[in-house]
């Protein structure tokens, strides 16, 4: 596992939701910058933001599923 993923696993559900919002906003800004024709500072930033957002979404689904299962029992 990557170092970033291990750090994300330690976050609470609320912290993950906040991180998800931050990443969506960052990705929106990067995409807008790319569409406007401005040369990106670093081409890999969009790819990295997408990957980090996917990691956060995965952990959110996982933790929400675990919370729902514990409520059913």
**Residue for token digits 């170092």?**
3
The confidence score (pLDDT) of residue 46 equals 92
The confidence score (pLDDT) of residue 24 equals 97
CA 38 to chain centre: 24
Say yes or no: domain 14-72 is CATH 1.10.287. yes
Residue 53 near residue 24, CB atoms below 8 Å: yes
The confidence score (pLDDT) of residue 64 equals 86
What are the tens digits of pLDDT across the range 29-45? 999 988 888 777 788 99
- Domain ranges within the chain, ordered by starting residue: 14-72
What are the tens digits of pLDDT across the range 45-69? 999 999 999 999 999 999 888 776 6
From residue 5, alpha-carbon distances to 31, 38, 51, 67 in Å are 24, 31, 10, 20
The confidence score (pLDDT) of residue 69 equals 67
The confidence score (pLDDT) of residue 66 equals 75
């Amino acid at each position: 596992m990557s170092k970033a993923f291990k750090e994300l696993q330690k976050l609470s559900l609320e912290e993950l939701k906040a991180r998800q919002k931050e990443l969506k906003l960052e990705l929106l800004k990067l995409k807008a910058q790319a569409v406007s024709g401005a040369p990106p500072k670093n081409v890999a930033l969009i790819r990295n933001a997408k990957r980090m957002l996917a990691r956060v979404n995965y952990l959110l689904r996982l933790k929400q599923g675990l919370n729902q299962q514990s409520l059913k029992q």
